């Protein structure tokens, strides 16, 4: 499967609904449109990997993790600029994420300016 | 036995008629013989006297009719054999004498019979009274024996239960009754007799004396029951604990007659209670240490749980600032974002408070608790841990579950232990990892909660040992989690047990009792639900 970026949609994947909701509001305040998914499986099943211009995902989630999602998208040649947000960040995880092509690896709670700039940079790719 | 009409005398009505009439003939013949003998020896003629004797004997021993026959025979014999040439007047005179004598004898015999009848009646009465008296004496002896036995049992019961009974006249009166056990409890010597009231007070611990006197005086004034605890200092210096109960006995006019009551030596009971209290404290300390250990193992997960709402709160605050720093600030959006930040910050605080309450050390506090809510909180708290090992969690909680009296912290500790055990059992397996938590009402006035997993199952050949202290299959486990969980459940009046799942995994079940008034409410709810359907 190949992915084509049809719009400037940001996909947010996180199992915590308060994080999903507030992140969406934050991006909206910065002028970005986004769509939220409560799991990696939901995102893959929705088909939005074809339309998302940027992916913000948690790493530790029930079922498929964020890193597994990254590997799956890479396998499908779907190179969505990915920003990881996590409360469990360690160096090994960070290295794995960046090696897989992540554009940013942010520990929770993150600086909103850093996130917004990362999203802007991702969308301008 | 009363008089039946049979006169029992030397001879008489029991004789046959032959004998009785025969006596009449024989006695007259004897009189004739004696008179003839005297005549032969030229002695004065005395047939009349002998005849009168014969008549008397016959009347006395044979009765009226033979007596009359004897009188007739005597008259005939006298007329024929003695003085046959006497004049008719003389004969009539002798006949009259015999007749009068016969009549007199009849009266005498009748009187004698009546007297004998009365004597027999009185004898029978006396015999009956004597029998009654013997029976009463036997009954009295039996009752006395029973009473002695009963007293012996009572004394033994008092000794075994360390309870003495007493009675005293309203103070400052005398002691009217003081059982053996009272002497033992109070430390007095029975040989010295009843102690005085003042002596009893003096035997008490100095710190208790004034209070006891005040309680007694108040009870006496109001003619009420009293009850107090106090310490006794025995002559050997030993301090014992006692409890005294008193009850007023009132006369017909309501005046106070006396007080009766008991003294109980409660020293052993108090020591047992103190021991139980120390044990409860030790168990609470152990449970607390277990909670601390488990929560320590969950530090990373708990930090993650707290981090999520904090992240959301920071996002909200950042969004609020962005809306406010626009060229045209959007106050409504900013307000909404700020409100969201506050909500999430409070959520973070709630999680921290929940963690703090679990880690708190203190005595068990029972209160009305919503078990489903406790389960949901624990599932939320451990969500990061279940996510970490890709375990799906399914909660099937009965919405009609009534609240129960329980220590919420302890119940959550049980749920946490069981969930952690399930997570440990599923960490290393390759197949689907599922954790199912169910709550429902059981038939026997209990809630039943189950925690089921698809993990490694119960250890083979050691299923009976899993609740033993220090039993563990984990390399770094202490082995107290299930032991403590069972203690907590049992202290609430419930049961905790385990069972294998098919095809793999294990389930842990525990029950908690429902208070009676809550059962009625639960029954009403089910009834309403049934009606509404």
Q: According to the model, what pLDDT value does residue A117 have?
A: 94
Nearest chain A Cα distance for residue B497, angstroms: 29
Please report, in tens digits, the pLDDT of each residue of chain B (533 residues total). 444 444 444 445 567 888 989 999 999 899 888 888 887 877 666 788 888 899 999 999 998 889 999 999 888 888 887 766 667 887 788 788 888 998 999 999 899 989 999 999 999 999 999 999 999 999 999 999 999 999 999 889 998 889 999 999 886 578 889 999 999 999 999 898 888 888 889 999 999 999 999 999 999 999 999 999 999 999 999 999 999 999 999 999 999 999 999 999 999 999 999 898 888 888 888 888 888 888 887 887 788 888 889 999 999 999 999 999 999 999 999 999 999 999 999 999 988 888 888 887 766 678 899 999 999 989 988 888 888 888 889 999 999 899 999 999 899 999 999 999 999 999 888 888 999 999 999 888 899 999 999 998 888 777 777 887 777 777 666 677 888 899 899 989 999 999 998 888 999 999 999 987 655 555 555 555 444 43
A88, B300: Cβ pair inside 8 Å? yes
What gap in Å lies between CA B178 and CA B194, rounded to an integer? 7
Asked if A16 reaches chain B (Cβ–Cβ under 8 Å), the answer is yes
- Regions in chain A scoring below 50 on pLDDT: 1-6
Instruction: Characterize the bridge pairing of strands B392-397 and B367-369.
Output: unpaired
Contact A109 B344 (CB under 8 A): no
**Per-residue H/E/C for B52-100:** HHHHHHHHHHHCHHHHHHHHHHHHHHHHHHCCCCCCHHHHHHHHHHHHH
Phi, psi (deg, nearest 5) at residue A106: -115, 130
- Tens of pLDDT, residues B242-258: 999 999 999 999 999 99
Q: Please judge whether B300 and A60 are an interchain contact, meaning their C-beta atoms are less than 8 angstroms apart.
A: no
pTM of the entire predicted model = 0.58
Query: What per-residue confidence (pLDDT) applies to B171?
Result: 66
Q: B300 CB near a chain A CB, below 8 Å?
A: yes
Interface contact A25-B303, CB threshold 8 A: no
Q: Could you give the CA distance from residue B49 to residue B227 in angstroms, rounded to a whole number? A: 97
Out of A29, A61, A85, name the one closest to residue B319 (CB).
A29
Closest chain B residue to the Cα of A85, Cα to Cα: B311
- Pairing status of strand B392-397 against strand B434-441: parallel
Instruction: Please answer yes or no on whether B392 and A63 come within 8 Å at the CB atom.
Output: yes
Count chain A–chain B contacts defined by CB atoms under 8 A.
Answer: 82
- What is residue A112's DSSP assignment? H
How many residues are recorded in chain A? 125
Q: Which residues in chain A have their CB less than 8 angstroms from residue B384's CB? A: 60, 87
Of B316, B386, B387, the CB nearest to A22: B316
Give how far Cα B163 sits from Cα of B57, B247, B406, B449, B468, Å: 80, 16, 37, 46, 41
**A61 closest CB neighbour out of B312, B337, B387:** B387
Question: Chain B residues with CB inside 8 Å of A18's CB?
Answer: 308-309, 312, 344, 347
Specify the pLDDT at position A93: 85
Instruction: Please tell me if residue B410 touches chain A, with a CB cutoff of 8 Å.
Output: no
pLDDT at B44: 61
For chain B, say whether A29 makes contact (Cβ under 8 Å).
yes
A122 interface with B at CB cutoff 8 Å: no
Cα separation, B122 vs B267, in Å, equals 67
Instruction: State residue B10's pLDDT score.
Output: 46
Contact B322/A87, CB-based, under 8 Å? Answer: no
B299-324 and B331-359 helices cross at what angle (nearest 10)? Answer: 160
Exposure string over B413-445, b if 16+ CB within 10 A, otherwise e: bbbbbbbbbbbbbbeeeeeebbbbbbbebeeee
pLDDT digits (tens, 9 = 90+) for A70-83: 999 999 888 899 99
Backbone φ and ψ of B438, nearest 5°: -125, 150
- Write out chain A residues lying below 8 Å of B298, CB-based: none
User: CB-CB: which of B308, B391, B392 is closest to A16?
Assistant: B308
A88 in reach of chain B (CB within 8 A): yes
Among the partner residues A15, A19, A61, nearest to B312 by beta-carbon distance? A19
CB B415 within 8 A of CB B451: yes
With an 8 Å Cβ cutoff, are B392 and A62 in contact?
Answer: yes
Under an 8 A CB cutoff, do B387 and A30 touch? no
Please count the other Cβ atoms lying within 10 Å of the Cβ belonging to residue B292.
13
* Contact with chain B for residue A33, Cβ under 8 A: no
Is B386 part of the contact surface with chain A (CB cutoff 8 Å)?
yes
**Quick check: B312 and A88 CB within 8 A?**
no
Q: Provide the pLDDT for residue B315.
A: 94
Name the residue of chain A whose CA is nearest to B301's CA: A88
Nearest chain B CA: its distance from A29 CA (Å) = 6
What are the chain A neighbours of B336 within 8 Å (beta carbons)? Answer: 25
Q: Does B323 touch chain A (CB under 8 A)?
A: yes
A13 touches chain B (CB under 8 A): no
Q: Which of B297, B304, B303 is nearest to B421 (CA)?
A: B297
Contact across the interface for B314 and A61, Cβ inside 8 Å: no
Sheet holding A9-13, edge to edge: A33-37, A9-13, A52-58, A82-86, A104-107
């Amino acid at each position: 499967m190949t992915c084509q970026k049809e719009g400037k949609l940001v996909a947010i994947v996180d199992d915590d609904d308060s994080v999903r909701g507030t992140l969406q509001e934050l991006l909206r305040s910065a002028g970005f449109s986004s769509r939220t998914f409560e799991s990696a499986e939901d995102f893959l099943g929705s088909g939005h990997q074809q339309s998302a211009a940027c992916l913000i995902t948690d790493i530790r989630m029930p079922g498929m993790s964020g890193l597994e999602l990254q590997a799956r998208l890479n396998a499908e040649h779907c190179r969505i600029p990915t920003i990881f947000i996590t409360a469990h960040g360690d160096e090994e995880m960070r290295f794995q994420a960046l090696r897989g092509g992540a554009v940013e690896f942010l520990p929770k709670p993150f600086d909103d300016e850093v996130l917004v700039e990362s999203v802007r940079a991702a969308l301008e790719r | 036995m009363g008089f039946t009409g049979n006169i029992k005398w030397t001879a008489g009505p029991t004789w046959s008629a032959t004998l009785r009439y025969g006596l009449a003939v024989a006695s007259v013949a004897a009189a004739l013989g004696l008179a003839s003998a005297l005549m032969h020896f030229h002695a004065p003629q005395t047939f009349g006297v002998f005849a009168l004797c014969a008549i008397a004997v016959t009347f006395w021993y044979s009765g009226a009719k033979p007596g009359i026959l004897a009188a007739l025979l005597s008259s005939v014999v006298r007329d024929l054999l003695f003085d046959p040439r006497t004049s008719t007047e003389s004969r009539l005179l002798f006949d009259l004498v015999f007749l009068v004598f016969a009549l007199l004898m009849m009266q005498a015999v009748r009187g004698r019979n009546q007297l004998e009848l009365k004597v027999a009646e009185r004898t029978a009465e006396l015999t009956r009274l004597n029998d009654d008296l013997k029976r009463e004496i036997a009954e009295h002896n039996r009752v006395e024996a029973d009473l002695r036995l009963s007293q012996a049992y009572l004394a033994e019961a008092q000794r075994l239960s360390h309870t003495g009974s007493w009675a005293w006249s309203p103070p400052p009166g005398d002691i009217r009754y003081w059982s053996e056990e009272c002497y033992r409890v109070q430390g007095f010597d029975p040989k010295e007799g009843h102690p005085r009231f003042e002596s009893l007070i003096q035997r008490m611990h100095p710190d208790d004396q004034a209070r006891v006197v005040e309680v007694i005086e108040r009870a006496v004034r109001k003619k009420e029951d009293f009850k107090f605890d106090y310490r006794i200092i025995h002559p050997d210096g030993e301090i014992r604990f006692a409890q005294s109960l008193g009850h007023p006995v009132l006369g017909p006019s309501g005046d106070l007659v006396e007080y009766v009551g008991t003294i109980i030596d409660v020293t052993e009971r108090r020591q047992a209670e103190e021991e139980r209290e120390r044990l409860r404290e030790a168990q609470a300390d152990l449970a607390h240490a277990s909670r601390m250990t488990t929560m320590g193992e969950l530090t990373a997960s708990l930090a993650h749980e707290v981090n999520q709402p904090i992240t959301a709160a920071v996002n909200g605050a950042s969004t609020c600032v962005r809306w406010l720093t626009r060229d045209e600030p959007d106050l409504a959006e900013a307000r909404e974002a700020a409100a969201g930040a506050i909500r999430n910050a409070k959520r973070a605080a709630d999680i921290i408070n929940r963690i703090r309450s679990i880690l708190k050390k203190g005595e068990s506090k029972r209160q009305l608790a919503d078990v489903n809510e406790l389960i949901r909180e624990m599932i939320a708290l451990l969500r990061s841990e279940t996510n970490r090992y890709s375990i799906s969690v399914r909660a099937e909680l009965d919405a009609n579950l009534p609240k129960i009296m329980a220590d919420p912290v302890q119940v959550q500790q049980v749920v946490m232990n069981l969930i952690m055990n399930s997570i440990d059992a599923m960490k290393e397996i390759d197949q689907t990892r599922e954790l199912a938590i169910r709550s429902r009402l059981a038939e026997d006035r209990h809630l039943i909660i189950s925690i089921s997993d698809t993990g490694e199952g119960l250890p083979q050949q050691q299923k009976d040992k899993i609740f033993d202290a220090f039993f563990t299959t984990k390399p770094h486990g202490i082995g107290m989690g299930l032991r403590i969980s069972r203690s907590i459940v049992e202290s609430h009046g419930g049961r905790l047990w385990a069972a294998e799942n098919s095809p793999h995994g294990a389930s842990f079940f525990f029950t908690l009792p429902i208070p009676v008034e809550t059962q009625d409410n639960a029954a009403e709810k089910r009834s309403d639900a049934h009606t509404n359907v």
